[in-house]
Amino acid sequence: MLPLILFIVLAIVIVVLFEIRERQRAKHPQTTPTDSRPEGCCGEHLVCERETLLQTNAEVVYYDDEELDALAGVAPEDFTPDQEEAVREVFHSLQESDVPGWCRSLQLRNITLPPDIREEALLIVRERRSASAR
Protein backbone atom coordinates (compact mmCIF):
# COMPACT_ATOMS: atom_id res chain seq x y z
CA MET A 1 0.00 0.00 0.00
CA LEU A 2 2.83 2.41 0.85
CA PRO A 3 4.48 2.06 -2.61
CA LEU A 4 1.16 2.91 -4.27
CA ILE A 5 0.76 6.05 -2.14
CA LEU A 6 4.36 7.11 -2.90
CA PHE A 7 3.76 6.57 -6.61
CA ILE A 8 0.62 8.72 -6.55
CA VAL A 9 2.38 11.50 -4.60
CA LEU A 10 5.31 11.42 -7.03
CA ALA A 11 2.96 11.62 -10.02
CA ILE A 12 1.19 14.64 -8.51
CA VAL A 13 4.53 16.38 -7.85
CA ILE A 14 5.62 15.79 -11.45
CA VAL A 15 2.36 17.17 -12.82
CA VAL A 16 2.61 20.27 -10.60
CA LEU A 17 6.24 20.92 -11.63
CA PHE A 18 5.33 20.49 -15.29
CA GLU A 19 2.48 23.01 -14.95
CA ILE A 20 4.75 25.52 -13.21
CA ARG A 21 7.33 25.18 -15.99
CA GLU A 22 4.71 25.62 -18.71
CA ARG A 23 3.34 28.75 -17.05
CA GLN A 24 6.84 30.22 -16.80
CA ARG A 25 7.41 29.52 -20.48
CA ALA A 26 4.15 31.23 -21.34
CA LYS A 27 5.18 34.32 -19.35
CA HIS A 28 8.73 34.42 -20.80
CA PRO A 29 8.75 33.23 -24.41
CA GLN A 30 12.10 32.95 -26.18
CA THR A 31 13.38 36.27 -27.41
CA THR A 32 14.73 34.85 -30.68
CA PRO A 33 11.98 34.85 -33.29
CA THR A 34 11.63 31.50 -34.99
CA ASP A 35 11.46 33.02 -38.46
CA SER A 36 15.08 34.22 -38.21
CA ARG A 37 16.35 30.67 -37.69
CA PRO A 38 17.08 28.22 -40.47
CA GLU A 39 14.24 25.78 -41.05
CA GLY A 40 14.40 22.95 -38.53
CA CYS A 41 16.73 24.77 -36.13
CA CYS A 42 15.57 25.07 -32.54
CA GLY A 43 17.91 27.99 -31.82
CA GLU A 44 19.28 26.43 -28.64
CA HIS A 45 22.70 25.51 -30.04
CA LEU A 46 25.77 27.59 -30.73
CA VAL A 47 25.76 26.31 -34.29
CA CYS A 48 22.59 24.80 -35.70
CA GLU A 49 22.62 21.00 -35.39
CA ARG A 50 20.64 20.68 -38.58
CA GLU A 51 23.52 22.16 -40.52
CA THR A 52 26.43 20.69 -38.60
CA LEU A 53 26.15 17.84 -36.17
CA LEU A 54 23.63 15.81 -38.12
CA GLN A 55 25.81 15.75 -41.21
CA THR A 56 27.36 12.32 -41.47
CA ASN A 57 30.09 13.59 -43.76
CA ALA A 58 31.11 16.45 -41.46
CA GLU A 59 34.82 16.91 -41.70
CA VAL A 60 36.95 18.53 -39.01
CA VAL A 61 38.51 21.75 -40.23
CA TYR A 62 41.43 23.18 -38.28
CA TYR A 63 41.89 26.92 -37.82
CA ASP A 64 45.57 26.72 -36.90
CA ASP A 65 44.38 25.39 -33.53
CA GLU A 66 45.60 21.80 -33.41
CA GLU A 67 46.90 22.39 -29.88
CA LEU A 68 43.29 22.63 -28.68
CA ASP A 69 42.80 18.90 -29.37
CA ALA A 70 44.35 18.34 -25.93
CA LEU A 71 41.14 19.83 -24.48
CA ALA A 72 38.83 17.22 -26.04
CA GLY A 73 36.46 15.92 -23.38
CA VAL A 74 37.75 18.35 -20.72
CA ALA A 75 35.14 20.48 -18.96
CA PRO A 76 35.84 24.22 -19.32
CA GLU A 77 35.92 24.65 -15.54
CA ASP A 78 38.84 22.20 -15.47
CA PHE A 79 40.95 24.20 -17.95
CA THR A 80 44.19 25.59 -16.61
CA PRO A 81 44.68 29.34 -17.06
CA ASP A 82 47.15 28.57 -19.89
CA GLN A 83 44.63 26.32 -21.65
CA GLU A 84 41.90 28.93 -21.39
CA GLU A 85 44.29 31.57 -22.71
CA ALA A 86 45.14 29.31 -25.68
CA VAL A 87 41.44 29.06 -26.56
CA ARG A 88 41.06 32.83 -26.16
CA GLU A 89 44.06 33.52 -28.43
CA VAL A 90 42.68 31.33 -31.20
CA PHE A 91 39.21 32.88 -30.86
CA HIS A 92 40.53 36.44 -31.07
CA SER A 93 42.69 35.59 -34.08
CA LEU A 94 39.65 34.49 -36.12
CA GLN A 95 37.76 36.60 -38.60
CA GLU A 96 34.08 36.90 -37.71
CA SER A 97 33.17 34.88 -40.79
CA ASP A 98 35.24 31.95 -39.45
CA VAL A 99 33.61 31.79 -36.01
CA PRO A 100 30.65 29.53 -36.97
CA GLY A 101 32.96 27.08 -38.72
CA TRP A 102 35.38 27.09 -35.82
CA CYS A 103 32.57 26.37 -33.38
CA ARG A 104 31.43 23.52 -35.60
CA SER A 105 35.00 22.19 -35.68
CA LEU A 106 35.23 22.34 -31.88
CA GLN A 107 31.94 20.48 -31.51
CA LEU A 108 33.13 17.74 -33.83
CA ARG A 109 36.35 17.52 -31.82
CA ASN A 110 34.45 17.38 -28.48
CA ILE A 111 35.98 20.64 -27.24
CA THR A 112 33.79 22.87 -25.08
CA LEU A 113 34.34 26.62 -24.95
CA PRO A 114 34.69 28.44 -21.63
CA PRO A 115 31.46 30.35 -20.83
CA ASP A 116 32.76 33.85 -21.57
CA ILE A 117 34.22 32.88 -24.95
CA ARG A 118 31.11 30.85 -25.74
CA GLU A 119 28.92 33.91 -25.14
CA GLU A 120 31.08 36.06 -27.43
CA ALA A 121 31.01 33.39 -30.13
CA LEU A 122 27.25 32.99 -29.77
CA LEU A 123 26.78 36.75 -30.19
CA ILE A 124 28.81 36.71 -33.41
CA VAL A 125 26.89 33.70 -34.76
CA ARG A 126 23.55 35.35 -33.95
CA GLU A 127 24.60 38.61 -35.60
CA ARG A 128 25.70 36.75 -38.74
CA ARG A 129 22.43 34.79 -38.84
CA SER A 130 20.32 37.91 -38.49
CA ALA A 131 22.40 39.72 -41.13
CA SER A 132 22.00 36.84 -43.58
CA ALA A 133 18.25 36.64 -42.89
CA ARG A 134 17.76 40.23 -44.05
How many Å apart are CA 51 and CA 122, to the nearest integer? 16
pTM over 0.85: no
Query: Which is nearest to 111 in space by CA: 81, 75, 84?
Result: 75
Alpha-carbon Rg for the chain, nearest whole angstrom, is 20
33 three-state secondary structure: coil
- In tens, the pLDDT along 45-72 reads 555 544 444 444 578 999 999 999 999 9
Segment 65-99, tens digit of pLDDT:
999 999 999 999 999 999 999 999 999 999 999 99
Q: Could you give the residue ranges of the DSSP H alpha helices within 28-74?
A: none
More confident site: 34 or 22: 22
Q: How many CB atoms lie within 10 A of CB 122?
A: 16
8 A C-beta contact, residue 47 and residue 93: no
